[in-house]
């Protein structure tokens, strides 16, 4: 069975496992998509098996279950990599599996997990390469970026390009990055993209028909996502375009699903005059207690504060925007208020914090 990993990948493993247990095998991804069915006729069992799996969007715990279908005994096992459930193996036949056959299923699960882990390593290496080239381009080192891109196999666009930045909450950071990486339209035009930090993805893309619509479609697919894009510029002018894009995003509202264009914003308002290092240091210091709360928790308290302020302190509207109960929101805001040592009902305090968030 191990030889199937290098030869045919997960499908090869499924075929070997099916032959060894004299049954059928389904490989299912974490979102319920069918990756392989051996034999092909076994795909008819998919709909019933999906009813036993956690629904999309719900945290997934490791799963090992046995169910009965008409005339079939089915074993379902999750495939995990680095503690994250990445998919499932379903094995079925007319009789129960023996202890030795369960061991074969465990071996197949391990091999598929190893295949996914190696794929993750390759993907991360490609991400690191794109990040290096992107930083060089945004820093004004176009010539070095092209040379580096040739070495790292990262294509640097020719002709006019746009700089764009997309941002979302930490909870949706992975979804945003993968949406950009896997978008077929962006891949066709040699887009250079990378995550600058969790929840913030920058990209440089050649100007092409429909390029802005492509970005907007990503904003609509990823929850709480918004972005900004520059006018077409030469690669050498990317540093100025990048500064402009960042200023536009900082000055714009937090309306999700909206793409702001540099050409549509002639002035960035008060924030244009507050770009000094001292002001940014004040903003970071003012928000540090909230950042410390976030670093020690699975909750993004900074995003909670931003949403609360964007909704003028209205609990119901803020809770709805975050997808949580209003009592949960009140608990989070109490924690934030205690960490800051400030009264969040005070309009002046809210204004200061809103300004700090924009300048951070």
Domains and CATH numbers, the chain: 3-115 (3.30.450.40), 159-270 (3.30.70.270), 277-359 (1.10.10.2840)
Q: Which residues fall within 8 angstroms of residue 76, CB to CB, at 6 or more apart?
A: 49, 52, 53, 63, 64, 65, 66, 67, 88, 89, 90
DSSP 27-49: EEETTS-EEEEESGGGGGGHHHH
**3-class DSSP assignment, residue 195:** strand
Per-residue burial over 138-165, b if 16 or more Cβ lie within 10 Å, else e, is: bebbbeebbebbeeeebebbeeebbbbb
**3-class DSSP assignment, residue 74:** strand
pLDDT class of 4 with cuts at 50, 70, 90: very low
Rounded-to-integer distance, Cα 344 and Cα 338, Å? 10
Rounded-to-integer distance, Cα 142 and Cα 181, Å? 22
* Token duo for residue 325: 């109960």
Tens digits of residue pLDDT in 348-357: 888 889 888 8
* Token duo for residue 358: 């924009």
Tracing tokens 């009789």 back to the chain, one arrives at 95
Tens digits of residue pLDDT in 43-99: 999 999 998 887 654 556 788 888 888 889 999 999 999 888 999 999 999 999 999
* Token duo for residue 328: 């949960």
Instruction: Give the pLDDT confidence score for residue 360 in this predicted structure.
Output: 66
Instruction: Give the pLDDT confidence score for residue 165 in this predicted structure.
Output: 96
Q: What is the pLDDT of the chain when averaged over all its residues?
A: 87
pLDDT more than 70, % of the chain: 92
Instruction: Give the pLDDT confidence score for residue 298 in this predicted structure.
Output: 85
The pTM (predicted TM-score) of the whole model is 0.61
Instruction: Give the pLDDT confidence score for residue 55 in this predicted structure.
Output: 67
H-helix or E-strand spanning residue 55: none
257 pLDDT higher than 60? yes
Give the mean model confidence (pLDDT) for residues 153-175: 92
β-pairing, 24-29 with 34-38?
Answer: antiparallel
Rounded-to-integer distance, Cα 93 and Cα 266, Å? 67
C-alpha 44: how far from chain center: 31
281 pLDDT higher than 90? no
Instruction: Give the pLDDT confidence score for residue 312 in this predicted structure.
Output: 81
Tracing tokens 């440089």 back to the chain, one arrives at 204
Give the mean model confidence (pLDDT) for residues 262-285: 64
Give the mean model confidence (pLDDT) for residues 322-332: 90
149 pLDDT higher than 90? yes
Q: Name the more confident of 322 and 95.
A: 95
267 pLDDT higher than 50? no
Tens digits of residue pLDDT in 196-243: 999 999 999 998 878 888 999 999 999 999 999 998 999 999 999 999
Backbone dihedral angles phi then psi of residue 226, each to the nearest 5 degrees: -145, 170
Selection from 132, 45, 139, 156 nearest residue 91 by Cα = 45
């Amino acid at each position: 069975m191990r030889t199937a990993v290098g030869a045919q990948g997960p499908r090869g493993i499924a075929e070997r496992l099916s032959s060894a247990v004299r049954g059928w095998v389904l490989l299912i991804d974490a979102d319920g998509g069918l990756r392989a069915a051996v034999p092909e006729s076994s795909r008819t069992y998919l709909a019933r098996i999906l009813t036993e799996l956690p629904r999309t969007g719900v945290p997934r715990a490791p799963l090992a279950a046995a169910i009965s279908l008409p005339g079939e005994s089915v074993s379902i096992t999750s495939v995990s990599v680095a503690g994250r459930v990445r998919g499932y193996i379903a094995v079925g036949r007319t009789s129960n599996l023996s202890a030795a056959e369960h061991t074969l299923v465990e071996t197949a699960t391990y091999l598929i997990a190893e295949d996914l882990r190696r794929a993750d390593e390759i993907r991360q290496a490609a991400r690191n390469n794109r990040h290096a080239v992107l930083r060089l381009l945004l820093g004004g080192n176009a010539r070095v970026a092209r040379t580096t891109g040739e070495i790292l196999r990262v294509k640097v666009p020719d002709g006019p390009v746009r700089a764009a930045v997309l941002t979302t909450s930490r909870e949706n950071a992975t979804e945003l990055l993968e949406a950009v990486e896997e978008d077929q339209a962006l891949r066709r035009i040699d887009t250079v993209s990378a995550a600058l930090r969790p929840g913030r993805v920058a990209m440089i893309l050649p100007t092409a028909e429909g390029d802005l619509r492509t970005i907007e479609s990503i904003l609509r697919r990823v929850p709480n996502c918004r972005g900004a894009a520059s006018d077409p510029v030469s690669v050498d002018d990317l540093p100025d375009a990048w500064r402009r894009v960042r200023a536009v995003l900082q000055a714009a509202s937090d309306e999700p699903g909206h793409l702001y264009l540099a050409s549509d914003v002639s002035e960035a308002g008060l924030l244009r005059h507050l770009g000094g290092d001292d002001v940014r240091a004040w903003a970071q210091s003012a928000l540090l207690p909230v950042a410390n709360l976030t670093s020690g928790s699975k909750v993004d308290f900074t995003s909670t504060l931003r949403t609360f302020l964007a909704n003028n302190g209205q609990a119901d509207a803020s809770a709805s925007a975050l997808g949580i109960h209003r009592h949960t929101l009140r608990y989070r805001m109490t924690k934030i208020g205690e960490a800051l040592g400030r009264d969040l009902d005070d309009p002046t305090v809210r204004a200061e914090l809103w300004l700090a968030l924009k300048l951070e």
